[in-house]
Amino acid sequence: MELVACVLCGSLFQTYDKKICPRCAQKEEEYYQIVKKTIRENPGKRFKDIVEETGVPERLMRRWLQNGRLEINTKESFGLRCERCNKEILQGRYCVDCRQIMQNGLNDLMKESKKLQLEQEPNNKKKGGGGMHFIND
């Protein structure tokens, strides 16, 4: 555990991997609950209107949209861009097309890895490595 300064308020706190102190994390969670309630009560409300009505910092809402923690059902742009192709997106880090391309690439890698593993398996048995053996008495 190390002593670090909170990136939001600057106070020192002990952590393994967090960047914000418990006090700021709790405040962010309170903000999130306010936004969540506002969206639930007013579906289709515009992003800017939610920011103005709730007083929640815009950067927090953008981060929640980017992390997929928050979803607003509107076609309005929030200034989020796909990290791969730079296309405008409403939520997350990647557009639908890029997510599909990356998923297909990952699936191909998994198939190739499995194929290589199966190809090497008979070689391991021939070498006498692993498995159970009987010892003659």
pLDDT (tens digit, 9 = 90+) per residue, 36-63?
Answer: 999 899 887 888 888 999 999 999 988 8
| 72 in a structural domain | yes
Name residue 106's amino acid.
L
Secondary structure of residue 72 in the 3-state scheme: coil
User: How crowded is the C-beta side of 66, counted as CA atoms within 13 Å?
Assistant: 13
Is 58 contained in some domain?
yes
20, two tokens = 């914000």
Is position 38 within any domain? yes
Residue 116 has pLDDT above 80, yes or no: yes
- Predicted confidence at residue 81, as pLDDT, reads 84
* Angstrom distance (rounded) from CA 53 to CA 89: 24
First to last CA, the chain: 56
What does the alpha-carbon distance between residue 43 and residue 92 come to, in Å, rounded to a whole number?
19
pTM strictly above 0.75: no
- Select the more confidently predicted residue: 120 or 9: 9
Specify the number of domains making up the chain.
Answer: 1
Which domain, by its residues, includes 57? Answer: 2-94
